[in-house]
Amino acid sequence: MNTAFSIDLSPDAAEIERINSELDMVGQAEDWPMAFDYNIRLVIEELFMNIVMHGAKNDKCEIELSLESNSEIVKITIIENGVAFNPLTDSSAPDLESDLSERAIGGLGVHLIRNLVDDIDYKRVSGRNSISFSKRK
């Protein structure tokens, strides 16, 4: 089965509900395993909330999320016109060794994302950030 959708989102945490509604339809239609579904949602939420909290400096930020899925792989792309930021290189690696009380805040989200997806890519084109990731079924 091939599935695709694209939705325009505002930089508002409440938009997670709309994203999840779209994912519900795709996940049910394609019978995604629970763990696969959870991982896709977690990665999208982490990326989206980073945009909302750090990249969207005003209400003029426009965010587009698109999904393409076939029997082998799901590919998600998030494009937005917020502050230029490559989470793959502009974030420091998290400290996973120190006691929790001694660790600096930040970096764990990108670390988590890298461990949940099969491929991830960032580019900045025409004043817009584009981050794509894929996960094999």
**Number of domains the chain is built from:** 1
CATH number at residue 24: 3.30.565.10
Q: What range does the domain containing 44 cover? A: 3-136
Task: For 30-73, write each residue's pLDDT tens digit.
Answer: 999 999 999 999 999 999 998 998 877 766 889 999 999 999 99
| Burial category of 128 from C-beta neighbours within 10 Å (exposed 0-12, middle 13-18, buried 19 and up) | middle
Residue 98 pLDDT class (50, 70, 90 cuts): low
How many other CB atoms are there within 10 angstroms of residue 22's CB atom?
15
Question: What pTM, to 2 d.p., does this model score?
Answer: 0.86
User: At 9, which helix (H) or strand (E)?
Assistant: strand 3-9
